[in-house]
Structure 1
Amino acid sequence: MIRNLARLSDETFDAVVIGGGIYGLWTAHALTTRGFSVALLERRDFSGATSFNSLKTVHGGIRALQHGSFADTRQFVRERRALATLAPHLLRVMPFVVPTARHPVRNRTAMRVFLRAYDAVAADRNHGVDPALHLPPSYTVGPRAARALNPLVDPDGLTGAAVWHDYQLHSPERLAIALVRTITEAGAAAANYVEARGLLKHADRVSGVQALDLRTGASFDVRGRLVINASGPWAWQLLASCGIPVDRSSGFSLALNLVLDHPPRPHALGGVSKGRFLFLVPWRDRSILGTSHEGFVQGPDPSPVPADISALLRDGVEAFPHAGLNPASIRLVHRGLLPARPAAATAHGALLKRSIVRDHRADGVPGLLTVAGVRYTTARATAQQAADLCTEILGRPVTPPALAPLAGAAFNGLALYRQQGQGQDRFVARYGTLHTELPADGRDPIAPDIDVTSSEILYAIRREMALTLSDVTLRRTDLAAGGHPGADALRAAASVMAAECGWTTGQTADEIQAVERELTLETPAPSARKPSG
């Protein structure tokens, strides 16, 4: 993973992908595996913004089947299975437990019938999947077992619980880096902190991107036969700035998840608030509450207001009255913008039901596509659709590639590999087989009660295009993924980076302040904790 801007400006690529979130990354991967020459540009860092916001779960389409969509359910099942093949070390089997009650739909009998139907639809869920990730059948339990599995909900009226299994994604950020590593090893050129400022045109056809290196302020052109606009909330802004027609009714719903300093349970727990399910999901040594969708906005950069955060927390208290949730337990606020349209009956946006793959030939702008979506799990499927369209536009032979593990995921049995690497479990869970590339020195934690080592920080700088302290602490290592790690740990990480990157004392202080600002932005002031040290 080398940030080679000279190559970006010197070559003409088959496709230039704008956006290093999950949709842009999978699109670049789909094109690269089909033999396209690809350039990937990200204005900030890979897997930031909306892609940083999630419940860390990989769904199998339970909700889609509830809405009667067999086709969507099958897509979720296929994509969940594909991810288990592509990056098994980043996943673990996660049981989901939701309460049943005397309710027309959420009663125990109806849920038992529904889960049997779901298991039939997902009968091939384990086909070709590593045995360590096989998903058990779904089932229901009675009220006593339900109270034992989910003691955080109100037991009044509880008739049992429904239990099914999905995957938890240990680190979406590590999945993003695995994708960047995979495409660059296959010949793609990728760079973070490069902003697309406009589109190049030749003979009335889009022919590339006017780019700006945000690190140096240097401008340059990136030429391509096709440009794929996968810039998430900024996609519409880019189109409008280039005079391309934009649906003015389109906008975004602000999705929120709260990382809580709450002891994790063994299962993901469902609870009902205002007639809908919220989930309290165990994640490392904390829990994540979500997801809520607050408001409808049309700008790409809104931040949640305290009222949004308080509303989600109140709903969490209603759903899980015995969890003891309170503002002081909030360690981090994950937020992101998802494509939506205004809903007449509510101030909240109605999320789009289908991903967008728009060929702008229909708008008189050949050479440009826009890709956007709502679901993390099915982003790869949307990318395949976009790659099919690119193949047709450029007249390439259609040869759908076989699934091949991402960088670091070529295991001959995940459980066996973990046994052979005893004592390396944390590294295997994050880096897979690439953990052997970590520098041999600096394997001790950088601070007390912190797992992250100097070797991981050095590896992020040398091999993973980490340019800032925020890149390292939030998107390469675990250091600040669950909230502020403490001032001592932050200073220790900055010291390692400063020595490697040649930062001055002033630059080091600026980097620490930048992380503090980012963590403050992600954490509401009423519940912000003072870092130790």
Structure 2
Amino acid sequence: MKRDIKKAVEQNYDIIIIGGGFYGVMLAYESSCRGLKTLLLEKNDFGSATSFNSLRIVHGGLRYLQSLDLHRFKESVGERKWFLKNFPTLTKPISCLMPLYNKGLQRNSIMWAALNLNDLLSINRNKSVNDENNLLNGKVISSEKVKEIFPHVNTNELKGGAIWNDGAMDDSQIVLFEILKTASENGCTPLNYFAVKDVVTENDVVKGVVAIDNETNESYEFKSSLVINSTGPWSRELAKNLHKDFENLFKYSIAWNILFDVDALSDHALAITPPKDNAKAYFLRPWKGKLFAGTTHQAWDGVEEIPIPTDESIQNFIDDLNLSIPTLNLTKDNIVQIYSGLLPAKEQGTNEIAVREIIIDHSEHNGPKGLFSLSGVKLTTSRLVAEKVLNKVLGDKSAKLKEIEFPKRSDEEFGVFDFDWNLEDELLKSVIKQKFENESIVHLDDLLLRRTTLGDNPIKALLNAEEICELFGWNKDKTESEIERLKNYYVKRGLVIKENQGVEV
């Protein structure tokens, strides 16, 4: 999947997709299943914004039972199964534990009923899924068993615990890129670092787009009669540039998770609620041996490239975690990385997340025919939403010609390596070179953060950055620029570089 601009410009496309996050990539994949010639344009790197910054959980929708939203529950269960089936080594079951204190809904009897209903309504959740990825039934356990699973649990008034199973996608960026690679092998041309600036029309009908290569600042025109704006937090801004503003397309909020340099508290993901009024639940999951915690939502003013919560908000989050688990004693110095991105809110100025995707046909609002805008909500259902969008925009042409299967690869071929990796490993070096030559890598962070898992360990990545640049054959100026770019990314994301770590500050 090389970044071949000359070849891309020479073609006419059935559909142009703008945006290379999970929703754009799923649109590309579903278009490929329909035999469509597809162009995907992403202004940065594929999957580099909100899609990269989740807690890496593929939710089955247990929480939707609380509001009896059975439609969303069914959708989530089905799409979780899609990931478990198609990416059996990259998506795995994860056991979740909620300590119960007989407060609100956190009661043994209520959770027993909820878990049984969850299992009953998702009775086909394991159909066609590998045995090792089957999701077991939920159960309520004793306080003593909770203490065994979660030794640091707050035992004050502890009455038991609820256990259920969900999906975990530890390396979601690898899954996204595998889907994109598969689409590219079946009729899709993906180009990263291409920003769409205008839509080309004739008699109010879309004829293509004008896009700029952000690496050279050269402008290109790409031809298609169908354009879908799927740019996540930028969807409203782009819709305004191409036609007009739609306030309901994206109302801004920030969501974030934090990876801490402390050992995971359990081999289970933990649902905990701070013992204070109007507290919200947090999810603390094991991730590569570390503690990964979230998700916190907060109102946000508008779109920006790297949205980062305020120091006060981060401290409040850490205080909540310490209040929930008195022995934890987290500080900001424990932060490895803040994973934050913008999500659509129900209303501007609130932290309540939207519940439904929005699809806008611009021709219904005096815009050009063939221009559509999409705003999605959650990673889990991105493929299903892509299917819905194509059914809407294609009409009779929406029937799938085939189900495209994903190739089976080893962890190393995927680019998945241990957290404490070693560049002396010849296989690792070989994978790096292969990906550089074939996977549209423009910058060092493309490789470290989104083609492999090497960047999950920031200090290790920074210490080895110069040697990796040498593998690419980059000159001194390019190498220094790329290392500075990578370092700035990590520092912006909350990394505190300590004197004894060997990295120049």
TM-score (norm 2): 0.93
Deviation at 1:171, TM superposition (A): 0.8
The amino acid that maps onto 2:439 is E
Residue 176 in structure 1 maps to residue 176 in structure 2: yes
Residues 361-410 of structure 1, C-alpha deviation per residue, up to 9 Å, x if partnerless? 22122211111212111111111111111221xx42x424564432436x
Counterpart-to-counterpart distance in 1, 2:104 and 2:248: 39
- Aligned partner of 1:258 in structure 2 is 258
User: Within 5 A, what are the aligned runs for 1:282-431?
Assistant: 282-301=286-305, 302-342=307-347, 348-365=350-367, 366-392=369-395, 395-396=396-397, 398-400=398-400, 403-408=403-408, 426-427=411-412, 430=414
Counterpart-to-counterpart distance in 2, 1:22 and 1:312: 27
The amino acid that maps onto 1:466 is I
Counterpart-to-counterpart distance in 2, 1:390 and 1:407: 29
Say if 1:23 and 1:380, in contact at 8 Å, map to a contact too.
Answer: yes
The amino acid that maps onto 2:361 is D
Structure 1 residues 482 and 290: alpha-carbon distance in aligned structure 2, compared to 1, 3 A threshold: farther
Residue 522 in structure 1 maps to residue 499 in structure 2: no
Say if 1:199 and 1:208, in contact at 8 Å, map to a contact too.
Answer: yes
Structure 1 residues 451 and 93: alpha-carbon distance in aligned structure 2, compared to 1, 3 A threshold: farther
- Aligned partner of 1:276 in structure 2 is 280
Residues 26-85 of structure 1, C-alpha deviation per residue, up to 9 Å, x if partnerless? 011111111111000111111101111111111110111122111110100000001112
Name the SS for the 2:458 alignment partner. coil
Name the SS for the 1:114 alignment partner. helix
- Aligned partner of 2:448 in structure 1 is 473
Residue 226 in structure 1 maps to residue 226 in structure 2: yes
Deviation at 1:248, TM superposition (A): 6.9
Deviation at 1:351, TM superposition (A): 1.3
Counterpart-to-counterpart distance in 2, 1:401 and 1:69: 32
Deviation at 1:145, TM superposition (A): 0.6
Name the SS for the 2:254 alignment partner. strand
Residue 455 in structure 1 maps to residue 427 in structure 2: no
The amino acid that maps onto 2:287 is W
Deviation at 1:250, TM superposition (A): 4.4
Deviation at 1:482, TM superposition (A): 4.0
Counterpart-to-counterpart distance in 1, 2:104 and 2:194: 53
Structure 1 residues 407 and 203: alpha-carbon distance in aligned structure 2, compared to 1, 3 A threshold: farther
Deviation at 1:218, TM superposition (A): 1.1
Structure 1 residues 519 and 493: alpha-carbon distance in aligned structure 2, compared to 1, 3 A threshold: same
Q: Which moved more, 1:347-356 or 1:325-334?
A: 347-356
- Aligned partner of 1:414 in structure 2 is none
- Aligned partner of 2:502 in structure 1 is 532
The amino acid that maps onto 1:509 is E
Structure 1 residues 209 and 311: alpha-carbon distance in aligned structure 2, compared to 1, 3 A threshold: farther
Residues 84-139 of structure 1, C-alpha deviation per residue, up to 9 Å, x if partnerless? 12211211221000111122421011101110000001100100001120111111
Counterpart-to-counterpart distance in 1, 2:212 and 2:199: 12
Counterpart-to-counterpart distance in 2, 1:401 and 1:121: 31
TM-score (norm 1): 0.88
- Aligned partner of 2:119 in structure 1 is 119
Aligned with residue 423 of structure 2, among 431, 440, 446: 446
Say if 2:252 and 2:343, in contact at 8 Å, map to a contact too.
Answer: yes
- Aligned partner of 2:89 in structure 1 is 89
Deviation at 1:206, TM superposition (A): 2.2
Say if 1:261 and 1:286, in contact at 8 Å, map to a contact too.
Answer: yes
Say if 1:357 and 1:386, in contact at 8 Å, map to a contact too.
Answer: yes
Say if 2:9 and 2:220, in contact at 8 Å, map to a contact too.
Answer: yes
Counterpart-to-counterpart distance in 1, 2:249 and 2:454: 40
Say if 1:15 and 1:38, in contact at 8 Å, map to a contact too.
Answer: yes
Residues 398-452 of structure 1, C-alpha deviation per residue, up to 9 Å, x if partnerless? 424564432436xxxxxxxxxxxxxx6x426x369xx9xxxxxxxx9315xx998
Say if 2:92 and 2:167, in contact at 8 Å, map to a contact too.
Answer: yes
Name the SS for the 1:297 alignment partner. coil
- Aligned partner of 1:244 in structure 2 is 244
Say if 1:15 and 1:39, in contact at 8 Å, map to a contact too.
Answer: yes
Counterpart-to-counterpart distance in 1, 2:370 and 2:442: 32
The amino acid that maps onto 1:314 is D
Counterpart-to-counterpart distance in 2, 1:262 and 1:56: 18
Structure 1 residues 206 and 349: alpha-carbon distance in aligned structure 2, compared to 1, 3 A threshold: farther
Say if 1:96 and 1:267, in contact at 8 Å, map to a contact too.
Answer: yes
The amino acid that maps onto 2:309 is P
User: Within 5 A, what are the aligned runs for 1:158-237?
Assistant: 158-237=158-237
Counterpart-to-counterpart distance in 2, 1:171 and 1:341: 29
Unmatched 5+ residue regions in structure 1? 410-423, 436-443
Deviation at 1:153, TM superposition (A): 3.0
Structure 1 residues 17 and 473: alpha-carbon distance in aligned structure 2, compared to 1, 3 A threshold: same
Counterpart-to-counterpart distance in 1, 2:250 and 2:26: 23
Counterpart-to-counterpart distance in 2, 1:382 and 1:182: 19
Counterpart-to-counterpart distance in 1, 2:403 and 2:139: 31
Say if 1:233 and 1:338, in contact at 8 Å, map to a contact too.
Answer: yes
Say if 2:2 and 2:440, in contact at 8 Å, map to a contact too.
Answer: yes
- Aligned partner of 2:466 in structure 1 is 491
Structure 1 residues 42 and 486: alpha-carbon distance in aligned structure 2, compared to 1, 3 A threshold: closer
Say if 1:340 and 1:349, in contact at 8 Å, map to a contact too.
Answer: yes
Counterpart-to-counterpart distance in 1, 2:490 and 2:336: 9
Name the SS for the 1:77 alignment partner. helix
Structure 1 residues 113 and 131: alpha-carbon distance in aligned structure 2, compared to 1, 3 A threshold: same
Residues 131-171 of structure 1, C-alpha deviation per residue, up to 9 Å, x if partnerless? 12011111110111112222333110111110001111121
Name the SS for the 1:462 alignment partner. helix
Counterpart-to-counterpart distance in 1, 2:287 and 2:180: 24
Name the SS for the 2:338 alignment partner. strand
